[in-house]
Structure 1
Amino acid sequence: MPEVPAVRAASHGGPVRLGVLGCADIAVRRVLPAVTRTPEVSLTAVASRSGDRAGAVARRFGGDPVEGYDALLERPDVEAVYVPLPAALHARWVGRALEAGKHVLAEKPLTTSAAETARLVRLAREAGLVLMENFMFVHHPQHHRVRRLLADGAVGEPLVLSAAFTIPPRPADDIRYRADLGGGALFDVGVYPLRAALFLLGHGLEVAGATLRTDPRLGVDVGGAALLRGRNGVTAHLSFGMEHHYTSRYEVLGSAGRISLDRAFTPPADHRPALVVERPDGTEHLELEPYDQCAGTVEAFARAIRSGAGTSGDATVRLAELVADVHRSGHAERGRLHDRRVTPWEAMRQ
């Protein structure tokens, strides 16, 4: 493994000087607009394999256009990078960025391999660099409010988390349908309810079972479900897919009530969240202020860099392990059903 340079882009008291590796849809549609709204970050350079594409994005959002990702990583005026590339390319380019001494904000999942994720987290820790996986929802105050309610015993002892994130089908040429680019429902939307389970229930969760539905024409999973179990008998029932009605919600069932939240994972910046807390003595609707979770993520990344916080990465590594276990369990179950030539409904009755 190449050594991390002893000298990297000098830290200063101004905005974090950000470079972007790739002009993916999520970068142009969500993250770069948030960067322009965030004083703590300055867009310094935009790289693409196409100089024309880099130029078009740079003219829209600022920064210098750069042809080629390596050329951007060589720039001493770039101290941090955002990586919105397809998931299968993350391990290579996140690693190259860390080796170049850059802090990294990378789209989820950090990689498609638990071992590669752990390696990159170690590399960031050893170099004193910030490595952040871009789960925007964990920065939204609505989830921190739910976690405080649970800690305060608002619904008694938490027993069951039910969470779902599903989206309608995408265009046929969408990268989510490309197995070679790390596509599939688990990597794209399944990671959200898994990350929510870690956020709300802690890291002591294990995969008890999973199922994945694969489209044989595409070679990727298009939907699935997972059952997790944790300490004291708590369970998490998680559903995900990308051929469904849009759903983005979770609820926590406790021994003395229930908390539910809709628009949980991708709320618009102007959305006013409403937590529903049900108890035997009545139902309470807690309306919260709107929050721009995309700008909040960019701000959190900049704060971590300027504070010298470095990288913990515990949640990132544990999530990668859970994803690997869901993938393994889901494909094992699929193989069992195929070998025995029974339908899923028949299997459920066995």
Structure 2
Amino acid sequence: MSALRIGVAGCADIALRRMLPAFAASPHTEVTAVASRSAAKARSAAGAFGCAAVEGYDALLERPDVDAVYVPLPVSLHAEWAERALRAGKHVLAEKPLTARPADTARLLGLARELGLVLTENYLFVHHPAYTVVRDLVAAGTIGEVRSLSASFTIPPRPADDIRYRADLDGGALLDIGVYPVRLASLLLGRDLTVHGATLRHDTARGVDLGGSALLGDPATGVSAQLLFGMEHHYAAGWRLHGSEGSLALDRAYSPPADHRPLLRVERSDGTEERVLPAHDQAAEAASAFAAAVRRGTGDDAAVLRQAELIDSIRRTAHRTRI
């Protein structure tokens, strides 16, 4: 089949730094246009990839040479532009999270199915082959029966004008950073997790949460996940999966550069093994996975909706410390 023709709605950092190069490099995708509200920004981004520059997102949706739209806009704009793209007959890959509210996520997934289109969200790390290695080790019984997961993703404070601090754009640590360890928990422990408790540190002046924690568990099996996230911390991005006979641990777990070789620690009573895994471009894998989903005619709607429900449950039930 011919390459999936991608139109990019916005010139966000993740688009310029990771996804545009990935779309351009993949044999399964082709960037045909980049749109921005600023014509100059569109020209600058498009020039590096030899594609059309488009002023305005509506003009992008009107183009017949665009099969699918990648949406790296602020979270508050995802639902609007994902719906517009779907109604224009385009498949959609949106940056995480797909929307800020599970009702919007469910509605858009239903619309995509009704129109015969694929709609999904862009968690890069789930496509890294390191997680295939992890799942194979667990399936082989290397650490015995899985008992729990501890995971963290924290970053230092951003500049004061960063969009993560804007409540009107659905900013905050939970939607920007906390979504990663939550998605990891479902990936490693399954989709039957529920939220047993959560905390959020809420910045009353700016109206956003700056960090928090969550305890998730599967009532049927007793496995649990202790998650920490925030944007007023020292940088940390790792996890440990605890089993009855050992554990697995990985650092730089969510957004490693393409040349990074992950170090997976396997600890058992008979010793510790450090496995250096091959480097891999998870953005390229994500681009190929999206193209494959379009070829199949279906994405993983259940995973997308379950993620939205877990995040909403954390937000609704969290004890808030106001600062």
2:110 pairs with 110, 122, 139, which one? 122
Displacement of 1:312 after TM fit? 3.0
Aligned to 1:274: 263
2:32 pairs with 37, 44, 49, which one? 44
Displacement of 1:308 after TM fit? 2.5
Q: Kindly indicate whether the alpha-carbon contact (under 8 Å) linking 1:222 and 1:243 is maintained by their aligned counterparts in 2.
A: yes
Aligned to 1:135: 123
Query: For residues 289 and 309 of structure 1, what CA distance do their matches in structure 2 show?
Result: 31
The number of residue pairs the alignment matches comes to 322
Aligned-residue identity in percent:
59
- TM, length-normalised to structure 2: 0.97
Aligned residue runs from structure 1 range 220-299, under 5 A: 220-230=208-218, 231-299=220-288
Q: Kindly indicate whether the alpha-carbon contact (under 8 Å) linking 1:158 and 1:252 is maintained by their aligned counterparts in 2.
A: yes
Query: For residues 261 and 4 of structure 2, what CA distance do their matches in structure 1 show?
Result: 30
Displacement of 1:39 after TM fit? 2.4
Aligned to 1:172: 160
Displacement of 1:126 after TM fit? 2.3
Displacement of 1:278 after TM fit? 0.9
Aligned to 1:94: 82
Displacement of 1:294 after TM fit? 0.9
1:321 pairs with 304, 309, 316, which one? 309
Displacement of 1:263 after TM fit? 0.9
Displacement of 1:191 after TM fit? 0.2
Aligned residue runs from structure 1 range 322-337, under 5 A: 322-330=310-318, 333-334=319-320
Aligned to 2:65: 77
SS at match of 2:182: helix
**Which is further off, 293-302 or 233-242?**
293-302
SS at match of 1:223: strand
**Which is further off, 321-330 or 13-22?**
13-22
Q: Kindly indicate whether the alpha-carbon contact (under 8 Å) linking 1:271 and 1:290 is maintained by their aligned counterparts in 2.
A: yes
Aligned to 1:204: 192
Displacement of 1:283 after TM fit? 1.4
- TM, length-normalised to structure 1: 0.89
Q: Kindly indicate whether the alpha-carbon contact (under 8 Å) linking 1:224 and 1:240 is maintained by their aligned counterparts in 2.
A: yes
What root-mean-square deviation, in Å, do the aligned CA atoms of Structure 1 and Structure 2 show?
A: 1.4
Query: For residues 297 and 139 of structure 2, what CA distance do their matches in structure 1 show?
Result: 26
SS at match of 2:305: helix
Which whole-Å deviations, capped at 9, do the CAs of 1:313-339 have from their partners, x for residues lacking one?
111100000000000112xx22xx77x
Larger Rg belongs to: 1
Q: Kindly indicate whether the alpha-carbon contact (under 8 Å) linking 1:128 and 1:311 is maintained by their aligned counterparts in 2.
A: no
Query: For residues 45 and 248 of structure 2, what CA distance do their matches in structure 1 show?
Result: 42
Query: For residues 221 and 144 of structure 2, what CA distance do their matches in structure 1 show?
Result: 13
Query: For residues 294 and 35 of structure 1, what CA distance do their matches in structure 2 show?
Result: 8
Gaps of 5+ in 2: none
Q: Kindly indicate whether the alpha-carbon contact (under 8 Å) linking 1:129 and 1:311 is maintained by their aligned counterparts in 2.
A: no
Query: For residues 171 and 36 of structure 1, what CA distance do their matches in structure 2 show?
Result: 31
Query: For residues 88 and 300 of structure 2, what CA distance do their matches in structure 1 show?
Result: 20
Residue type of the alignment partner of 2:251: D
Aligned to 2:290: 301
Displacement of 1:216 after TM fit? 2.0
Query: For residues 135 and 86 of structure 1, what CA distance do their matches in structure 2 show?
Result: 15
Gaps of 5+ in 1: 1-12, 344-350
Residue type of the alignment partner of 1:182: D
1:150 pairs with 138, 141, 144, which one? 138
Displacement of 1:84 after TM fit? 0.2
Q: Kindly indicate whether the alpha-carbon contact (under 8 Å) linking 1:80 and 1:104 is maintained by their aligned counterparts in 2.
A: yes
Which whole-Å deviations, capped at 9, do the CAs of 1:231-251 have from their partners, x for residues lacking one?
321110000001111111011
